[in-house]
Amino acid sequence: MKGRGVLLLVLFMLVLGGGCADFRTVGRQEMPVEETALIAEHTALYREVAEASPFIHSLDGYADVWIKTPKRQNRLFCNIRINRGGNARVIASAGLLGWPVADMFFNGDSLYVHDMLNNRLFQGRNNETNLEKILGVNSGYTLLKESLLGLVKIPEPASAIQSVKKGSGSLLFTLATRKGSKEVVIDPLNRTLTALLVKDRKGRTITEIQFRNFETITIEGRSKLVPKEIGMVLYNSGADGLGEHQLLISYDERVFNPENQSIQFLMPKKVKVVNLDDAVFLPWM
């Protein structure tokens, strides 16, 4: 029994300790600074990119994921499955052995997280607070899901554009929103969204999302450049309102619009059920 206990301890340390190796964070992106006039070509470009290729509606992929908050940092390997207008599921493994640690299911109203390390099922509301508990960022479900897909739809019309800047091969569109403003950075040559910054009424950046390492995919005769790497930074996030919370996703492989993808969650048996709304943080965080 003593030998078995030592073995379990070693395995547990491998699972958690492997998350710190080769740790990556979200870098800073150079922003355009030179004011320029808004012309018809800019407006057409913005409208095209803002639509975010609606013909791409689902994804099944595998990615390395790095999570960094002021209190902890972890590296996970995840199977990410997304239906753009519906559910999402993330199965996370960690450590040198790729040990499964969590099965996370998201729908419009609820979250279910099977903590495989401790055989517990966390369930609660799908809100910003609970998203932060399981993934380190409280961006909201729609923005998180579209960020994982690599295609974020921007709902503001072209009439919301207040100014345009150019530089470093990019265009920066500043948009007026109900809660403040957005800065949309577009590569005009490749017609891709490379960064999105959400700001409050005081001009402070709340959320920054970066898209990098694009690859061309072709679906039903239509081609699109889609990022393999997505970085999300939330500033002054969390209950204490201090520090950065980062989520970095780097896809190793993925399939868009997989046939007959139905994302469901099978409730595990013989588990302890815990209210996610009452949990402070989860073991892999």
Residues of the chain with pLDDT > 90, as a percent, come to: 61
Instruction: Give the chain's mean pLDDT.
Output: 87
Per DSSP bridges, beta strands 244-256 and 110-115 are: unpaired
Q: Which of 11-15, 162-166, 197-201, 242-246 has the highest mean pLDDT?
A: 162-166
DSSP secondary structure, 184-229, as one string: EEEETTTTEEEEEEEE-TTS-EEEEEEEEEEEEEEETTEEEEEEEE
Please write the tens of the pLDDT for every residue from 85-118. Answer: 889 999 999 877 678 889 999 998 999 999 988 8
Name the nearest CA neighbour of 172 among 160, 181, 183: 183
Domain ranges of the chain: 35-278
Contacts of 9 (CB under 8 A, 6+ apart): none
The dotted CATH code for 35-278 is: 2.50.20.10
Please write the tens of the pLDDT for every residue from 219-272. Answer: 989 999 999 999 999 887 554 556 788 899 999 999 999 988 889 888 888 899
